[in-house]
Amino acid sequence: MQVEWITNGDVWANSYIVGNILVDAGVMPMEIAPYKEQIETIVLTHCHFDHTARVKEIAHMCKAKVAIHKSDARGLVDDSQSLSMHFGARSPGILPDITLKDGDIIGGFTVIHTPGHTPGCICLFSEKDQLLISGDTVFTDGAFGRYDFPGGSRAELQRSLERLAPLAIEGLFPGHGSPVEEGGSRHIAAALSLIKSGYG
């Protein structure tokens, strides 16, 4: 499974293109334009504005459906849940075509519901390819997402990391920072150790 990393700056979240899906849509539409014929679905790892800012424009350009966990769907129209006001903007103002839940299969990935950063955070896992697209649940520097935003929970985030820790993961593709092609499980173990230590 080939994962294409799309990034255009530190503030905006990473996007990834895998087959016919785009994961997260904070990047400029021009970054996605070369892939517009292949993208059929946009999967949002959660509702924060840095991950969703251009979803409306990109969905229109690609004629793609938009998918998000049901617990974060309101964030596409709710400025307080999306944190859009922190960016001097408004929420995308669209409703999802698909509401996801734990265990769903989309684009060849299994949806793992990993609340803590937001109530509807998800990761996308390919057991066959041993890769995880982790959104803001866990990063490749052994850190984890913030839980002090509305709907966040340290206890839930720790449980989410505990759920991810046993998985065999080589490729780890986070919402921010650089992805890694091997040793992803070590980064998750480090994040779990960090949160258990009381850090943050």
Write out pLDDT tens, residues 102-154: 999 999 999 999 999 999 999 999 999 999 999 999 999 999 999 999 999 99
Q: So where are the chain's domains?
A: 4-196
The CATH classification of domain 4-196, taken from the options 3.40.50.450, 3.60.15.10, 3.60.10.10, 3.40.50.880: 3.60.15.10
Identify the pLDDT of residue 10: 67
> pLDDT digit string (tens) for 53-89?
999 999 999 999 999 999 999 999 999 999 998 888 9
Q: Tally Cβ neighbours within 10 Å of residue 85.
A: 12
Question: Global pTM?
Answer: 0.96
**Mean pLDDT computed over every residue of the chain:** 95
pLDDT at 199: 75
